């Protein structure tokens, strides 16, 4: 009896997905746990493994179809010997592929010759000179041959206008490419637009002197990587600095639910990660209870999972505040958009050397602009400015982060 390939549980509140890509086709041999297809939900993409070893007997949903949890995607025949099927699958050699291409060319040329034979010798020149679309011509002969007589009842101006329009449209189509939006991209677009429509988003800015933080990182990055197996970045320092600021300004860590304000006495920090499919935000949960080392390791692991499309729904749930680093792409300044229902998001940017005044002297320092976008319905201007000042103080004196003050 065939074994069904079913849509697995997709996580809390997620009930449907899109078939993004089939790795196998009907008749292919598979082994247990071998990836069969990729499903895309509103939040993540995930692979569906083969439940058994055998041969794919049936595929019930094609790429682009929407499926629900528990739906039968297809079936696998376990009675077929996997090894025999794999050996029996024909592997085309380069010589065979070349032969197929040659045959294809012959067929195409033969088709073109047949099409040309529908034109009488006297009409071929007219078609070439006027660039007439043969699809607009109805031959009067039974054998389908187009003769000069078939052109007599056609208005010349119509031919020129239609030809011009067709050429213009063809030229445009040659320069365009249309592909369907992925479910993840559709969700990102909807959430960003919803955030703009529902929240009173305002952004305030500050700048931070990164000199001491860069110095601290450079002094310890080699020994840190050697001991813990991950590189020491800036993000773990930013996470800790934001937690200090969130504790001082709890409104930024809260959210509006109906007519109530929900204050979160825990700190789950979302870290935006860019992937080939769009931006995803895995969450470092209970970040206030973790050390710099633990945070750095977790950020690295979540980033790797995001880029390899192995994030789980649980990896992206429960965030109370988000940090987005546009600086990795060279952004000098931006206004990040809220990740609903959160009330705040911090934008990091490119570190750039600039002249600033320090103790009455002009010096060159590595500076970064910080941007806090916040929901002005909940967070007022004083709170937003205070938040950024606290982040700035922590980053400009890394010992405060290490000591937790």
Q: How far apart are CA 247 and CA 74, in angstroms?
A: 51
Largest separation between any pair of C-alpha atoms in the chain = 97
| 11 phi-psi bin (left φ>0, alpha ψ -120 to 50, beta other) | left
Strands 344-348 and 321-325: parallel
Helix (H) or strand (E) holding 48: strand 45-49
Annotated active-site positions, please? 376, 380
Q: How far apart are CA 141 and CA 255, in angstroms?
A: 76
Q: How far apart are CA 9 and CA 114, in angstroms?
A: 55
Q: How far apart are CA 99 and CA 216, in angstroms?
A: 64
Q: How far apart are CA 80 and CA 289, in angstroms?
A: 53
Q: Which residues contact 14 (CB under 8 A, 6 or more apart)?
A: 41, 42, 43, 69, 313
Q: How far apart are CA 109 and CA 162, in angstroms?
A: 27
The Cα-based distances of 112 to 106, 221, 284, 288 in angstroms read 10, 67, 62, 71
Question: Looking up tokens 């682009």, which residue turns up?
Answer: 64
Q: How far apart are CA 308 and CA 265, in angstroms?
A: 32
Q: How far apart are CA 71 and CA 264, in angstroms?
A: 37
Are the CB atoms for 2 and 72 separated by under 8 Å?
no
């Amino acid at each position: 009896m065939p074994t069904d390939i079913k849509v697995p549980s997709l996580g809390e509140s997620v009930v449907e997905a899109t078939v993004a890509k089939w790795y196998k086709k009907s008749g292919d041999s598979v082994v247990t746990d071998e990836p069969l297809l990729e499903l895309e939900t509103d939040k993540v993409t995930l692979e569906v493994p083969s439940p058994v070893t055998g041969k794919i007997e049936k595929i019930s949903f094609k790429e682009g179809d929407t499926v629900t949890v528990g739906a039968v995607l297809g079936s696998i025949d376990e009675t077929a010997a996997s090894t025999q099927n794999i050996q029996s699958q024909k592997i085309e050699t380069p010589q065979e592929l070349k032969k197929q291409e040659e045959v294809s060319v012959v067929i195409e040329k033969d088709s073109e010759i047949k099409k040309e034979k529908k034109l009488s010798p006297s009409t071929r020149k007219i078609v070439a000179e006027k660039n007439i679309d043969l699809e607009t011509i109805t031959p009067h002969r039974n054998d389908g041959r187009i003769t000069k007589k078939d052109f007599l009842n056609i208005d010349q101006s119509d031919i020129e206008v239609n030809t011009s329009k067709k050429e213009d449209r063809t030229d445009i189509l040659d320069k365009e490419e249309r592909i369907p939006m992925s479910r993840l991209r559709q969700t990102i677009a909807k959430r960003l637009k919803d955030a703009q429509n529902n929240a009173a988003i305002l952004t305030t800015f500050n700048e931070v002197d990164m000199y001491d933080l860069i110095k601290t990182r450079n002094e310890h990055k080699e020994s840190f990587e050697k001991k813990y197996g991950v590189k020491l970045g800036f993000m773990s320092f930013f996470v800790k600095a934001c937690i200090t600021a969130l504790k001082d300004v709890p409104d930024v860590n809260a959210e509006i639910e109906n007519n109530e304000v929900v204050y979160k006495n825990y700190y789950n920090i979302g870290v935006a990660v860019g992937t080939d499919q769009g931006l995803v935000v895995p969450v470092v949960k209970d970040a206030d209870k973790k050390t710099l080392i633990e945070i750095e390791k977790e950020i690295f692991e979540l980033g790797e999972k995001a880029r390899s499309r192995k994030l789980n729904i649980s990896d992206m749930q429960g965030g109370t505040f988000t940090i987005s680093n546009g600086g990795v792409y060279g952004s000098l300044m931006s206004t990040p958009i809220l990740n609903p229902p959160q009330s705040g998001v911090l934008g990091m940017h490119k570190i750039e050397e600039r002249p600033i005044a320090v103790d009455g002297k002009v010096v060159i320092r590595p500076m970064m602009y910080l941007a806090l976008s916040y929901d002005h319905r909940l967070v007022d201007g004083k709170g937003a400015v205070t938040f950024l000042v606290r982040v700035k103080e922590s980053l400009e004196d890394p010992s405060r982060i290490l000591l937790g003050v």
